[in-house]
């Protein structure tokens, strides 16, 4: 009762409200997509995981700017709901749903084949979809499910679409990583589900580190093509990202997040910044923080020799041999 009395006291209530306001103001990005007049008419963009969370707001922004937008989603029902919402909100009829399960290499190949048949150009690819907190599962390709979804599926997708992207230059590839990459480790056995600790976000952190490593190596290989490749941290964002965590953890995340975390719309800002802003023209191989500033990623993500090995490992794991 005493605790309730203390917490219920107006001073605490006002302090908490003020703290929440200060945190909200501080987490604002330096760049405001609404103040950016960049138009995307005549441009084509693909956003993976565009049916919910951060991806939906990235796709919504591109559609508002007049782009032809392809929502790359794994669920027909959830994807169709997002498609309807985005078309209604933006009055852009050139928004389309294409199905892909990034955890399956065959599904990624099928999706890419369809895109190559249907699209004449691809100017923006946002590798946004990811999972966190999954228990151990090995895919039919013999890969750890989280690694397949977060790293190898997007890696294969990007590489299969790369010629089209190059032909469409100037073009931009954006990979949504996370500040959690700093807690990640590299062990090539992880890809196949070996030596992994399936506890909370441990596997996820490793995958987010690989996202930056592979993106940096891709950027190096793309030098001189007018195609850029960058990674971003979206911030800590109230989305469905915790859906595979225990109930108690989810409740805590939602409770704290209600006051202090970014909304999905705010979480989309750093990705949109990378994809459309004039400031990011020609900038490649960088890691962008949630406030849209350039940030040095963890030392492992800056190890050029490791990046070459990692990229080659991903090539081998996604090849048909």
Ligand X SMILES: NC(=O)c1ccc[n+]([C@@H]2O[C@H](COP(=O)([O-])OP(=O)(O)OC[C@H]3O[C@@H](n4cnc5c(N)ncnc54)[C@H](OP(=O)(O)O)[C@@H]3O)[C@@H](O)[C@H]2O)c1
Cβ proximity to ligand X: between 234 and 285 the closer is 234
* Cβ within 8 Å of residue 222, ≥6 positions away: 166, 228, 229, 284
- Helix 304-318 with 202-221: angle, nearest 10 deg: 100
Question: Restricting to residues 158-177, which ones interact with ligand X according to CB under 6 A?
Answer: 176
Residue whose structure tokens are 């399960």: 101
Closer residue to ligand X (CB): 178 or 206: 178
Task: Report long-range pairs for 138-145 (Cβ below 8 Å, ≥24 apart).
Answer: 138/192, 138/193, 139/103, 139/104, 140/104, 141/104, 141/105, 142/192, 143/191, 143/192, 143/193, 143/317, 144/190, 144/191, 144/192, 144/193, 144/196, 144/203, 145/103
Nearest approach, Cβ of 261 to ligand X (angstroms)?
A: 7
In the set 40, 43, 45, 49, which binds ligand X (CB under 6 A)?
Answer: 49
CB of 31 to ligand X, least distance (A): 18
205 binds ligand X (CB under 6 A): no
Find the binder of ligand X among 44, 90, 92, 103 (CB under 6 A). Answer: 103
Instruction: Confirm or reject binding of residue 149 to ligand X (CB under 6 A).
Output: yes
Among the listed ranges 14-22, 126-134, 276-284, 295-303, the one in contact with ligand X (CB under 6 A) is 126-134
Question: Interaction with ligand X in 241-260: which residues (CB under 6 A)?
Answer: 241
Contact with ligand X (CB under 6 A): which of 40, 46, 47, 54?
54
Q: Which is nearer to ligand X, 53 or 285 (CB)?
A: 53
Q: Does 274 bind ligand X (CB under 6 A)?
A: no
The reply on whether position 178 binds ligand X by CB under 6 A is yes
Query: Exposed (0-12), middle (13-18) or buried (19+): which is 305, by Cβ within 10 Å?
Result: exposed
Q: Which of 44, 90, 92, 128 binds ligand X (CB under 6 A)?
A: 128
Q: Among residue numbers 219 through 238, which ones bind ligand X (CB under 6 A)? A: 234, 236-237
- Cβ 149 to ligand X shortest distance, Å: 4
Residue 287 known to be catalytic: no
Q: Does 55 bind ligand X (CB under 6 A)?
A: yes
- Measured CA to CA, the distance from residue 312 to residue 302 in angstroms comes to 16
Min. distance of Cβ 150 from ligand X in angstroms? 7
Q: How far is the CB of 217 from ligand X (least distance, A)?
A: 19
Which residue among 24, 36, 75, 291 contacts ligand X (CB under 6 A)? 75
Among positions 230, 239, 270, 284, the unique one binding ligand X when judged by CB under 6 A = 239
Q: Of residues 106, 163, 187, 240, which one binds ligand X by CB under 6 A?
A: 240
Report the length, in residues, of the chain.
321
SS3 for 123? coil
Q: Which of 95, 124, 129, 173 binds ligand X (CB under 6 A)?
A: 129
CB atoms within 10 A of CB 289: 18
Give the helix ranges, DSSP H, for the chain: 2-8, 10-26, 53-64, 76-90, 105-118, 145-147, 153-167, 202-221, 247-260, 264-267, 269-276, 304-318
Closest CA to 50 of 33, 32, 67: 67
Q: CA 9, 14, 20, 22 torsion: positive or negative?
A: negative
What are 173's strand-pairing partners?
Answer: 125, 229
CB-wise, 148 or 171, nearer to ligand X? 148
* Contact between 43 and ligand X per CB under 6 A: no
Interface with ligand X by CB under 6 A: which residues?
48-49, 51-55, 73-75, 78, 100-103, 128-131, 149, 176, 178, 234, 236-237, 239-241
- Which residues are designated catalytic? 204
């Amino acid at each position: 009762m005493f605790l309730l009395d203390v917490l219920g006291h107006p001073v605490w209530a006002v302090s908490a409200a003020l703290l929440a306001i200060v945190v909200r103001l501080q987490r604002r990005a330096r760049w405001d997509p609404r103040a950016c007049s960049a138009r995307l008419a005549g441009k084509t963009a693909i956003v993976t995981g565009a049916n919910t969370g951060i991806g939906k707001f990235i796709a919504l922004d591109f559609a508002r700017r007049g782009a032809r937008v392809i929502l790359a989603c794994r669920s027909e029902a959830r994807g169709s709901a997002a498609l309807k919402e985005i078309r209604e909100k933006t009055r852009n009829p050139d928004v389309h749903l294409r199905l892909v399960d990034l955890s399956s290499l065959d599904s990624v190949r099928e999706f890419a084949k369809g895109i190559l048949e249907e699209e004449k150009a691809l100017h923006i690819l946002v590798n946004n979809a990811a999972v966190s907190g999954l228990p151990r599962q090995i895919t039919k390709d013999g890969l750890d499910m989280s690694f397949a979804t977060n790293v190898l599926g997007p890696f294969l997708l990007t590489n299969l679409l790369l010629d089209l992207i190059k032909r469409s230059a100037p073009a931009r590839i954006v990979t949504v990583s996370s500040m959690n990459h700093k807690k990640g480790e590299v062990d090539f056995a992880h890809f196949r589900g070996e030596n992994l600790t399936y506890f909370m976000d441990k596997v996820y952190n490793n995958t987010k580190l690989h996202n930056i490593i592979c993106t940096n190596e891709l950027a190096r290989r793309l030098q001189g093509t007018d195609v850029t490749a960058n990674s971003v941290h979206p911030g800590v964002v109230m989305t469905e990202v915790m859906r595979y965590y225990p109930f108690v953890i989810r409740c805590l995340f939602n409770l704290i997040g209600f006051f202090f975390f970014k909304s999905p719309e705010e979480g989309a800002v750093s990705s949109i910044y990378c994809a459309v802003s004039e400031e990011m023209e020609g900038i490649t191989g960088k890691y962008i923080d949630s406030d849209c500033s350039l940030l040095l990623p963890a030392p492992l993500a800056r190890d050029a020799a490791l990046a070459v090995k990692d990229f080659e490992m991903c090539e081998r794991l996604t090849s048909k041999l």
